[in-house]
Amino acid sequence: MIRVVVLAPIDNSLYARLVCFKLRQESDVQLAGIVVRSPWNLNRFISEFNRDGVRLLRKVFDKGIRGDRRFVESAEENLARLAEVWDLPFKSLRNLAAEYNIPFLVVSDHNHKKSEEFLNQVLPDLIVFTGGGLIRENILSIPSNGIINCHTGILPQYRGMDVVEWTAAENQMDDVGFGATLHLMDKGVDTGPILKSVRIDLGNAKSFEQIREKLEVKMVELMLEGVRRFRDHMITRTNQGEQDGRQYYVMHPRLKEFAKLQLL
């Protein structure tokens, strides 16, 4: 039996709901808690606005207001279609937790003292991170097996932000490729030991948004596979060297327009 806690960026995160829903169905896996970061945090908004600029407003509208409806217009594989296939009944993590009697906590930040105290009470073997900012040492040190995250890029080459766009802008679509990487978190940004990387077939995807939707489906699969591997003691780790890759930052809109042309 492995005890798992899921950290989520927002209560209606479809990514987190799908992961939690399937974890509940896994044998010898106990979903021992769900911790959600509250969206009503001024410091969080300022920090993310400084990082993302005005595009943060689009993210808030899409994830906080449109929610699952933002997937409807896409013709590509995405999380909404996966939710239909799995017959996901829950519109929020709070509802899922209440249905299954799972301890549930809302915090202003995943590194907050309340979060640390909750996790020390639950004592998970593994934490599954589905988004919500950087994780500090006080949380990283709690689970005996660590914290797993799925990154929307191939590590170690592409760490950080906008790595889908950077992969295209640097014409690495064939050599490195678009993909997702399951890894253990550490104090750095996407620098922890790699557990598995998977490249995706673009299919008919013609935009970065469609590529990300395909990647999100792959991330759910990788997260679930990662939990099973820890449960079954079948984990292999590949450490990253500091010089093995680069950390990328938010791409300038003009450079993003150039990157889009590489998809054509």
Residue ranges of the chain whose pLDDT lies below 70: 41-76
Domain count for the chain, please give it. 2
Q: Does residue 82 form part of some domain?
A: yes
Can you give the pLDDT at residue 189?
95
Residue with tokens 């678009």: 178
| Residue 217 CA, distance from chain mean position | 11
Report the alpha-carbon distance of residue 142 to residue 123 in Å, rounded.
Answer: 7
Range of the domain at 201: 151-230+242-264
Co-location of 99 and 165 in the same domain: no
- Which residue, 112, 145, 178, sits at the end of a domain? 145
Can you give the pLDDT at residue 262?
93
Residue with tokens 């791409």: 251
Using DSSP's 3-state secondary structure scheme, residue 120 falls into helix
Can you give the pLDDT at residue 162?
96
Report the alpha-carbon distance of residue 9 to residue 110 in Å, rounded.
Answer: 9
Can you give the pLDDT at residue 63?
54
Co-location of 64 and 121 in the same domain: yes
Co-location of 93 and 180 in the same domain: no
Can you give the pLDDT at residue 61?
54
Q: Where are the beta strands (DSSP E) in 28-146?
A: 29-37, 104-107, 126-129
Number of H helices, E strands in the chain: 10, 9
- Which residue, 111, 145, 179, sits at the end of a domain? 145
H/E run at residue 139: helix 137-140
Report the alpha-carbon distance of residue 139 to residue 190 in Å, rounded.
Answer: 16
Can you give the pLDDT at residue 98?
98
Report the alpha-carbon distance of residue 49 to residue 95 in Å, rounded.
Answer: 30
Kindly report whether the global pTM for this prediction surpasses the value 0.75.
yes
> What are the backbone dihedrals phi and psi of residue 117, each rounded to the nearest 5 degrees, phi first?
-65, -40
Supply 41's token pair: 């945090």
The CATH number of residue 190's host domain is 3.40.50.170
Can you give the pLDDT at residue 250?
93
Report the alpha-carbon distance of residue 109 to residue 95 in Å, rounded.
Answer: 21
Can you give the pLDDT at residue 77?
86
Co-location of 97 and 198 in the same domain: no
Can you give the pLDDT at residue 57?
56
Q: How many other C-beta atoms can be found within 10 angstroms of the C-beta atom of residue 80?
A: 18
Q: Does residue 200 form part of some domain?
A: yes
Co-location of 58 and 137 in the same domain: yes
Co-location of 91 and 215 in the same domain: no
